[in-house]
Amino acid sequence: MKIGIFDSGIGGLSLLKEYRKEYPKNEYLYFGDNIHAPFGEKTKEELLTYAKRAIAFFEQKQVDKIVFACGTISSTIFGELKASVPIFSILEPTIQKLNQQEKKNLVLLATENTVKSTYFDQHLSFLSLQKIACSSFVPLLEKREKENLEQEIQKYCLKINQEKCDTVILGCTHYSFLKEKIKEHLKPEIEVVDLAEEFVKVHPLQESKEGFTLYFSKINQELKENIEDILGENSTKKLHLFD
């Protein structure tokens, strides 16, 4: 099975990493549109343009299904997208999990667009939900500004620890890379829910050809270092410029 994964930058690599851990003998095609990142403050029209371009690219590459590993797109315009192959939102498995659990006091950490959307409010209507926009996380991650990122994590976790909260939702796949750091600064009883982990749990794959290819719309040294940190040494040999 050939899977296309799309995100604004390196965030969706959290899904790719999780899938390769569980299903190594599968073919993955990744497109990170980092020249337009972050998506969190883009207009609806811009998001539609980026998403439709990604669909056309994956269709040309003849993938079997497409996963939008972007919380922003999944919470805002996903319902308006169409493709010749099945397409999936990264958010659906997390919504299912949260509606089935006993914990009721949720805090969503997400991008500005996701926080402004009503997606989580509509799908978690019987739960207590607080939404916090963490607009700084994505650019700091992409630029590898670890010290500033640590300060931002501490700031948001301090706020969460002062609230009535039993579950934190990482509403952007970029935030998956911050999961352990976030847990360090939260009260130990607070559960942290990761979009990538939840998606792989409910979307198993039929293994076939093994390998992955990475396409990004902008390539620089920071990207290369991020890819090697996430996917391992020599993974940049799989990297290509999307144009």
pLDDT at 78 over 90: yes
Q: Could you give all domains of the chain from N- to C-terminal order, each with its CATH number?
A: 2-91+199-241 (3.40.50.1860), 92-195 (3.40.50.1860)
pLDDT, average across residues 60-86: 98
pLDDT tens, residue by residue, 203-237:
999 888 889 999 999 999 999 999 999 999 999 99
Model confidence pLDDT, tens digit, residues 145-180: 999 999 999 999 999 999 999 999 999 999 999 999
- Asked if 6 and 36 count as a contact pair (C-beta separation under 8 A), the reply is no
102: three-class secondary structure by DSSP: coil
The DSSP result for 145-179, as a single string, is -HHHHHHHHHHHHHHHHTS--SEEEE-SGGGGGGH
Output the pTM of the full model. 0.96
For 16-63, write each residue's pLDDT tens digit: 999 999 999 999 999 999 999 999 999 999 999 999 999 999 999 999
The question of whether 134 is a catalytic residue gets the answer no
Pairing between β-strand 27-32 and β-strand 65-68 as defined by DSSP bridges: unpaired
Question: Which residue type occupies 120?
Answer: F
Percent of the chain with pLDDT over 90: 94
- Considering the candidates 134, 157, 165, 172, report the single residue annotated as catalytic: 172
Is 172 a residue of the active site?
yes
Alpha carbons 66 and 84: distance in angstroms, whole number: 10
